Amino acid sequence: MNETILSVQDFRKVYGDFVAVDGIRFQVQRGEIFGLLGPNGAGKTSTLECLEGIRRPDGGALRILSVAPDREPRKLRNLIGVQLQTSGLPANMRVDEAMRFFCAYHGVAPRYDLLERLGLKEKQRSQFRELSTGQQRRLALALAAAHRPPVLILDEPTAGLDVNSRTELHTLMQELRDAGTSILLATHDMAEAEKMADRVAILLRGKIVATGSPRELTATGSGLTKVSVRTDQSVLHHNGAAFPGVQQHLIKEDYVIYYSTDPGPTVTALLDYLAVHNDKLVDLRVERPSLEERFLEITNTGGA
Amino acid sequence: MTAFAQHFVFEFKTGLRNPNQLLLNYLFPLGFYALMGLVMTQINPGFAETMVPAMVVFAIMASTILGLPSPLVESREAGIFRSYKINGVPALSILTIPMVTTIFHVLITSAIIVLTGPALFKGIAPIHWGAFALVALVTAFACGAFGALIGVISASSQATVLWSQLIFLPSMLIGGLMLPLSLLPKAIRPFSALLPTAHAMQAFMGLAYDQTTTLNPIVSLGVLLASGVLAFGLAIYLFNWDSRNQARRGHPLMALLALAPFVVSIFLQS
């Protein structure tokens, strides 16, 4: 089933003396959402721009379905759909014009169904500048997907969107993935990456410092599970009780938060302690570390 | 409709939808034409003889030299050209289509001027309509190419204003629009010959009105055509999809090569 659609091998990009990307490698399979994560300046944009054929790589090999983006731009343009971070459309272009315009250059019929699907049917006669940020980003995704490319490159696709638009966009991305489209998703939004991506790579100072599924990445961190407790009389706030497996704890507003290597015995001991001290449990949450916490852990330690 | 046709229709509509372009394509040149027709013909009755070609050249300058460059710069800075490149829009279309649609707008404005000028302001209609149309087309092409070149080499919208005014203001003062070249001081004339308007006016007066001219009108028409071809070629060569792209093909000052035919004309006609 695994079929490599996009391949990055020892890719390097240099601007003068500055090495933006230093020999990274990853592959994206058919029907996979691959998240590219990293702080600003990590090399995400350089990687995307070389894959989009906008810039030339200074080393290594980039391939999208065997096509080298910098050498075969004509072949590339029907293989990829790109949602840029910036608008990328003339301010006075109408929504339906944009759909006709880009579809004409790709040699396909306009996809008005996508506009309807993304809630833009009523806005077809509106000019781009008259759309809200959310509508502009939805239009950008509709245009990127309109020619049914096998690879979608999405740069911060849900930045600035409200909850409903974001959910709708995520649903569409999942549908496209299920239909076999490979999606390369560059995002700062760790919750989005954790929810949407099958695999992620974390870029730091031009190198990939971690790669794997979000679950794999979070499991390879410190391994501490977060146990948050809120009680009626807050006895945990005042008593320095020790619980099995707890490595550290902190107090945050009404909650006491324990970081445990062994959450089962920790929770059992906590409940026993509350019963002995006649305190009533109001809220108890047991959470594995999030991708965001793992990301911060990796970036704060410089990828070590 | 083909991609080229879709692009063409969109750019043509932009010339009407965008308030700045509407101003420079129609409102400014036609307003100036009305003002000059009402006032200048009263102050200087001799102006009526050159009013029609002068106002046509003015309309061409407003639409192309003033109107064409800024949208090119703004599109590049807004990432629109990057989006175009990714989606397969050729660089040639990005430069050619706005230029051709601007020429279409200019031809509409010119038709209004040449058809109403004689009736409204006692302007002189051309003797040879075909020659008039040819000179108007070649002038619009040359100025359109210069507009595209300014848009390509300018780093910002402010820079387009500077470059555009470097051509527009001298053209108004010593380009033969307000005063015939023959009335200018001899020391100034070589500088006039560096301006497209001077050659356009000479070509109009010599070829469409059978008037005696200071410069050879055929040579002037050739100079306009050659500089237009050169300017457009340089615009394509120097075109940059993205201002952040550091790999430029040539220095912006190469654009000055487009003035070569004007310089040569000074020696040819001296």
Instruction: Decide which of A200, A219, A238 is a domain's last residue.
Output: A219
Per the DSSP assignment, residues forming a β-bridge with A33 are A183
Residue at B112: amino acid letter: I
Same domain, A113 and A12: yes
Q: Which domain holds residue A282?
A: 225-288
Query: Is A303 a member of any domain?
Result: no
CA distance B184 to A266: 97
Do residues B117 and B51 make contact, with C-beta atoms less than 8 angstroms apart? Answer: yes
Number of domains in chain B: 1
- The pLDDT of residue A221 is 66
Residue at A125: amino acid letter: R
Q: What is the DSSP string of chain A?
A: ---EEEEEEEEEEEETTEEEEEEEEEEEETT-EEEEE--TTSSHHHHHHHHTTSS--SEEEEEETTB-TTT-HHHHTTTEEEE-SS--S-TT-BHHHHHHHHHHHHTS---HHHHHHTT-GGGTTSBGGGS-HHHHHHHHHHHHHTT--SEEEEESTTTT--HHHHHHHHHHHHHHHHTT-EEEEEES-HHHHHHH-SEEEEEETTEEEEEE-HHHHHHTS--PEEEEEEESS-HHHH-----TTEEEEEEETTEEEEEES-HHHHHHHHHHHHHHTT--EEEEEEEPPPHHHHHHHHHHTTT-
Neighbours of B48 (CB within 10 A): 17
Same domain, A42 and A172: yes
Q: What is the DSSP string of chain B?
A: --HHHHHHHHHHHHHHHSHHHHIIIIIHHHHHHHHIIIIIHHH-TTHHHHHHHHHHHHHHHIIIIITSHHHHHHHHHTTHHHHHHHTT--HHHHHHHHHHHHHHHHHHHHHHHHHHHHHHH-PPPPS-HHHHHHHHHHHHHHHHHHHHHHHHH-SSHHHHHHHHHHHHHHHHHHSSSSS-GGGS-TTTHHHHTTSHHHHHHHHIIIIIS----SS-HHHHHHHHHHHHHHHHHHHHHH--S-TT----SS-GGGGGGGGHHHHHHHHHH-
Do residues A149 and A77 make contact, with C-beta atoms less than 8 angstroms apart? Answer: no
Among B10, B86, B88, the residue with its CB nearest the CB of A93 is: B10
B208-234 pLDDT per residue, tens: 999 988 889 999 999 999 999 999 999
CA distance B260 to B257: 5
- The C-alpha of A105 sits at a distance from chain B's nearest C-alpha, in angstroms, of 5
Cα separation values, A13 from A10, A49, A129, A207, Å: 10, 10, 34, 11
Same domain, A255 and A172: no
Residues B182-190, mean pLDDT to the nearest whole number: 85
CA distance A288 to A282: 20
Same domain, A135 and A276: no
Same domain, A182 and A244: no
Same domain, A210 and A277: no
Do residues B97 and B14 make contact, with C-beta atoms less than 8 angstroms apart? Answer: no
- The C-alpha of A54 sits at a distance from chain B's nearest C-alpha, in angstroms, of 7
Query: Is A301 a member of any domain?
Result: no
Query: Is A298 a member of any domain?
Result: no
Answer whether A127 touches B (CB < 8 Å).
yes
- The pLDDT of residue B114 is 96
Instruction: State whether A105 and B3 contact (CB < 8 Å).
Output: yes
- The pLDDT of residue B186 is 85
Answer whether A106 touches B (CB < 8 Å).
yes
Q: For a pLDDT cut of 90, what percent of chain B falls above it?
A: 70
- The C-alpha of B154 sits at a distance from chain A's nearest C-alpha, in angstroms, of 19
Answer whether A18 touches B (CB < 8 Å).
no
pTM of structure? 0.81
Same domain, A43 and A147: yes
Q: A–B: how many Cβ contacts below 8 A?
A: 72
Instruction: State whether A77 and B86 contact (CB < 8 Å).
Output: yes
Answer whether A82 touches B (CB < 8 Å).
yes
Among A54, A74, A104, the residue with its CB nearest the CB of B3 is: A104
Same domain, A78 and A205: yes
- The pLDDT of residue B218 is 95
pLDDT greater than 70 at residue B270: no
Alpha carbon of residue B159 to chain centroid: 18
List the single residue in A with minimal CA-CA distance to B16: A92
Q: Which two tokens stand for residue B231?
A: 């300017």
Q: Which two tokens stand for residue A283?
A: 């809220």
Q: Which domain holds residue B105?
A: 3-269
CA distance A234 to A230: 7
Query: Is A296 a member of any domain?
Result: no
- The pLDDT of residue A201 is 93
Alpha carbon of residue A164 to chain centroid: 18
Domain containing residue A154: CATH number: 3.40.50.300
> Which chain B residues are Cβ-neighbours of A82 within 8 angstroms?
83, 86-87
Nearest to A141 by CA among A183, A198, A106: A183
Instruction: State whether A87 and B79 contact (CB < 8 Å).
Output: yes
Instruction: State whether A54 and B241 contact (CB < 8 Å).
Output: yes
> Which chain B residues are Cβ-neighbours of A109 within 8 angstroms?
none
> Which chain B residues are Cβ-neighbours of A84 within 8 angstroms?
79, 82-83, 86
Same domain, A280 and A155: no
Answer whether A105 touches B (CB < 8 Å).
yes
> Which chain A residues are Cβ-neighbours of B242 within 8 angstroms?
54
List residues of B whose CB lies inside 8 A of any A CB: 1-3, 5-7, 10, 14, 17-18, 75, 78-80, 82-83, 85-89, 241-242, 245-247
CA distance A271 to A281: 8
Per the DSSP assignment, residues forming a β-bridge with A27 are A7
- The pLDDT of residue B246 is 54
> Which chain A residues are Cβ-neighbours of B241 within 8 angstroms?
54
Number of domains in chain A: 2
Alpha carbon of residue B216 to chain centroid: 20
Answer whether A33 touches B (CB < 8 Å).
no
Same domain, A36 and A172: yes
Q: Which two tokens stand for residue B169?
A: 């203001």
B56-83 pLDDT per residue, tens: 999 999 999 999 999 999 999 888 998 9
Same domain, A109 and A191: yes
- The C-alpha of B88 sits at a distance from chain A's nearest C-alpha, in angstroms, of 6
B127-145 pLDDT per residue, tens: 999 999 999 999 999 999 9
B9-38 pLDDT per residue, tens: 999 999 999 999 999 999 999 999 999 999
Do residues A110 and A39 make contact, with C-beta atoms less than 8 angstroms apart? Answer: no
Instruction: State whether A102 and B241 contact (CB < 8 Å).
Output: no
Instruction: State whether B87 and A53 contact (CB < 8 Å).
Output: no
Instruction: State whether B6 and A101 contact (CB < 8 Å).
Output: yes
CA distance A102 to A80: 13
- The pLDDT of residue B201 is 95
Instruction: State whether A97 and B80 contact (CB < 8 Å).
Output: no
CA distance A176 to B42: 71
Query: Is A184 a member of any domain?
Result: yes
Would you write out chain A's pLDDT as a tens digit for each of its 304 residues?
579 999 999 999 998 889 999 999 999 999 999 999 988 888 998 999 999 988 889 999 999 999 999 898 889 998 999 988 766 899 999 999 999 999 999 999 999 999 998 889 999 999 999 998 888 888 998 999 999 999 999 988 888 778 888 888 898 899 999 999 999 999 888 888 888 999 999 998 899 988 988 888 877 666 678 889 999 988 888 767 788 888 888 888 889 999 888 889 999 999 999 999 899 999 998 887 777 777 777 777 765 5
Query: Is A293 a member of any domain?
Result: no
Answer whether A101 touches B (CB < 8 Å).
yes
Same domain, A14 and A129: yes
Nearest to A34 by CA among A22, A46, A48: A48
Instruction: State whether B80 and A90 contact (CB < 8 Å).
Output: yes
